[in-house]
Structure formats: C-alpha cells, structure tokens
Structure 1
Amino acid sequence: MTQEFALETRGLTKEFRGFTAVDDVNLQVQEGHIHALIGPNGAGKTTVFNLLTKFLPPTRGEILYRGKAITGMKANEIARMGLVRSFQISAVFGHMTALENVRVALQRPMGTSFHFWKSERSLEPLNERAVALLDEVGLSDYADVLTVEMPYGRKRALEVATTLAMEPTLMLLDEPTQGMGAEDVDRIVELIRRVAKGRTVLMVEHNLSVVSRLCDRITVLARGSVLAEGDYESVSSDPRVKEAYMGSEVAEEEAGA
C-alpha cells in the first residue's frame, strides 16, 4: 500500500513554561508536493520546523515520515532516512571553495565529514559528484571560488547543493529567499522548482509571490495553530487569513499592480 503523505503531524504541540508556541498542529505533506508553511511573525513556523527536524522535543503529539513514527528519533537518524533541512542563515564554510563545501557534505553519509587530515587524493572520488551537484544548482563557474567571496544568492544556491548531497527525499527549506533582490529570488525559485522534481519540499517562506509561483499547497499558522489550508487561490481569498497575515501585503501588491 502506497503511503499518501511524505510527512504528517498529529496533535503536534510545544509548550514553553506555560506559553504554547505550537498548538495541536495536524500537518499533512503529500509526496511530490511543494508545501508552504506561512504566517505572521510569532506564528510558530520555525518552532514547527525545529520540532520536525528534532532540534526541539514536542510536548505532545506525533511526527510521521512516510508512515513511520519518528517522534523520538534524533536529527542525524532522520537525515539518514532522507529528511534534510537547510537553514534560514546560509550554513556553509566561508573559508572553503564551493566544490570543497559540497564535498564535505558528500562525506557525511560515509562518516568522514570532519576528517580534514585525510589527504586531498582520498577525496578525489567525490569530485565528480560534487561537480555534478554544482552544475545542478547553476554554480559550475563557482567551483573554485571561496564561499566568503560569493554573492549572497549564490551562497544560498550552494546551500541547496550541500543539502542535495545528503540525498534527501524530503527537503525542508527555511526562508530560502530571505534578504534577496528580485534577480536572486527568481533564480532561487527556478532552482527550487528544478530540484523538487522527484522530491517533496516543505518550506517556510514570507515572500507570497514565491509561494504563489511554487507551492501546490499552503498551511497558514497563526498563534501556533493551523488557521487555514489549501492552494494559493483558496488561502489568499480566506478572510481569516487576510486579517491575520496576508491582508496588508495583498493590499500593497494590488496597489502596486
């Protein structure tokens, strides 16, 4: 029997000393979909991500990945299963080249990620795959460039490459276009669309234009609870959503149209 959902939560709740940051969230992410988690600041989006990727333990509730309960598992265990997160702030090594960053990520499944004392020659078998991953995210020309010298948008693309090196079946992207200009946003949108083929993506994203262009389904959080869910058209027209989150932004977009 085929499992319908790549990722599912049942009654997911997180309390901090009397404050409920995530309140009885039931999330269902379908295989092969790009699913967005949106909401105003303080809605609980990042806390949900931290619960899903085991950086926080839930107070109550269950998390299932492809039908398997993973609530009690560790971050490295779920990463090996194919559930991999990229972070809101670019998490790459600035003193390494783009190629070296991807190569380190490729070492992780081998258990040698931080064996920096190994000879360069021992890493050469990884070069072909690393070059292919850089090409996949449009960074072929940056292979030998130190990451600290790369433009911000290209650093984010590199982070996607290092995430792909973990061979994810489900990618969790935390604000992938934050702080970008329009040209970089367009580039990352196309990149996400490309790498999502054959994978499932769950993303937190504030840019509603990005959400409307990319996502099959959207879950709106407000005050830690699910306020609405559906495709962009249905969610954006929901009066509760407009009031809680999208109203002012939609008005601004319409005024500028």
Structure 2
Amino acid sequence: MQETILKTIGLGKTFKGFSAVTDVNLEVARGSIHTLIGPNGAGKTTCFNLLTKFLEPSSGQILFNGIDITREAPAEIARRGVIRSFQISAIFPNLTVLENVRIALQRNLGTELHFWKSGRSLERLNSRAMGFLEEVGLADFANEDAVSLAYGRKRALEIATTLAMEPELMLLDEPTQGMGHEDVERVTELIKRVAKGRTILMVEHNMKVVASIADTITVLQRGEVLAEGSYGEVSRNPLVMEAYMGSHRGEAL
C-alpha cells in the first residue's frame, strides 16, 4: 500500500453562508498522479486554494507528511515542498527562459533580497537551470525571452520553474487550459515525464488527459466528493455520468 503524502479530513470552506467546499476527505499517495475533476463550480480550484492556504479553511484539517499544516501560512507550506502552478501562466515575460528558472533556483542561495549583487553571482546556477530546461524540452530556447514562447512552451517553462523549487508535491491547476491539440499532447507527455519519482495533484478539465495520466481521480460536485477511483471506475459511475451529462451536455468521460 502506498504511503499517503497529503490528507484532508472534513475540509470545508463557506463564504457568507454559501458552502463552496464541504467535508472533503482526500488522500494523495506518494509518487502518484492524482487528479481532481468535476463540472464548473464544483470546488476544484477552491480546494487548491485551501491546500496552499490562499484561502483559510472554515473547517477540517490538512496533513502533509503526517504534520498538521492547516494553520500555516502559504510561504511556510511552500517551504515544506508543496509548490503550485496556476491557471494563468506565471512567468517573467521580459527575462530569458534560463533567467526564469534561475530565479526559482535562487531561493536556495538565500540571496533573494540581495539586489545590489551582480547578476554574475547567479551564473553558478546556470548548469542546474539548464538541467531543468532539458527535462521539460526547452533547452534550445534558453536564451530567448519568455514572452516570445508559444503558449504551450510557456506552460512548460512554468513547470520547469516549479521543478526548480524542488517540490515534494506539485499542484498543477488546469495545466492544459486554452491549448490546442498539439500543445495538449506536448504538455501531457511532459507531465508524464516529470511525474517519475514525484507526486502530482492536478485539476484538469480535459478528460483525454485525465484518462491517459491519472492514477487516481477524485470527482467533485457542488463542493463535495462525488466519487473516487481509477478512470475506469469513475467513468462507469452512474452519479458521475449524470453530473457530466447535465453540465457538459453529453460530453463523454
């Protein structure tokens, strides 16, 4: 049986009487790809915001490696190794691809606020930064400005910067959102590749992506867990089929 890296117990969030997330019990196994899916408004991104403390839970507990992190600040949780990407690509557009990854690596030098130091002091990070770029297939773009990258490659760069933060648990929020077919395939293969030896929890709307990479799927509806299991299990669940038929107008799982 796989070890649990992240666990929630009765996790909930209310906004002025409206329950956005209710009694969510989640267990993410170390070394797995665990996906949250559900119709629009199901509470997927709210769950991510609770796990990374961009939102404060109204109820329940969050355990990471068996330690209660429910009341910790976002920066503390990030230092523990829970690193998140966002729906909108978060990169520095006017820096080069290499410089973007180097900024993420700079955290380990303890020099984030040493603005008076020469940029040359960061050149010792170039080799490691290039290693991450090679891992995501961007080594040939290292010296290009990030703004010039195609959308799919910008998401790949964001994953590279996330990897550079040395995550124990990567949270990917809609990594293929807004992509064309070719970029979706490229990023899906990238996630498969970087998942080896790592743990990934992701929100994803593209069912083909979910079917091809998820070890475990948790289905949310109206802020509650509707079903959980492998893709085969949840895709045959009558409650899940009804939820998607109603909100996606017949889109097949």
The TM-score bracket by the shorter chain reads over 0.9
Q: Which shows bigger deviation, 101-110 or 50-59? A: 101-110
Question: Cα deviations across residues 124-148 of structure 1 (Å, max 9, x unaligned)?
Answer: 1101100111011000111011111
Give, in whole Å, the separation in 2 of the partners of 1:174 and 1:75.
16
Q: CA deviation at 1:111?
A: 3.3
Question: Cα deviations across residues 61-105 of structure 1 (Å, max 9, x unaligned)?
Answer: 000011111111111111111111011100000010100000001
| Residue pair 2:39, 2:247 contacting (<8 A) in 1 also | no
* TM-score (norm: length of structure 2): 0.96
Secondary structure of the residue that 1:133 maps to in structure 2? helix
Which residue of structure 1 aligns with residue 168 of structure 2?
Answer: 169
| Residue pair 2:9, 2:24 contacting (<8 A) in 1 also | yes
Q: Which shows bigger deviation, 31-40 or 3-12? A: 3-12
Closer/same/farther in 2, CA of residues 105 and 65 from structure 1, 3 Å limit: same
Secondary structure of the residue that 1:26 maps to in structure 2? strand
Question: Cα deviations across residues 20-67 of structure 1 (Å, max 9, x unaligned)?
Answer: 000000001111110000001111000000000010110010000111
Equivalent pairs, count: 253
1:131 aligns with 2:155: no
Secondary structure of the residue that 1:91 maps to in structure 2? coil
Closer/same/farther in 2, CA of residues 248 and 63 from structure 1, 3 Å limit: closer
Give, in whole Å, the separation in 1 of the partners of 2:245 and 2:90.
29
Unaligned 5+ runs, structure 2: none
Which residue of structure 2 aligns with residue 5 of structure 1?
Answer: 4
Secondary structure of the residue that 1:209 maps to in structure 2? helix
Secondary structure of the residue that 1:202 maps to in structure 2? strand
1:96 aligns with 2:57: no
Matches within 5 A, 1:39-118: 39-113=38-112, 115-118=114-117
Q: CA deviation at 1:4?
A: 2.0
Cα RMSD (Å): 1.7
Q: CA deviation at 1:253?
A: 5.1
Secondary structure of the residue that 1:37 maps to in structure 2? strand
| Residue pair 1:103, 1:126 contacting (<8 A) in 2 also | yes
Which residue of structure 2 aligns with residue 223 of structure 1?
Answer: 222
Q: Which shows bigger deviation, 147-156 or 237-246? A: 237-246
Closer/same/farther in 2, CA of residues 115 and 187 from structure 1, 3 Å limit: farther
Give, in whole Å, the separation in 2 of the partners of 1:89 and 1:117.
31
Runs of 4+ residues deviating >4 angstroms? 246-254
* TM-score (norm: length of structure 1): 0.94
Secondary structure of the residue that 2:144 maps to in structure 1? coil
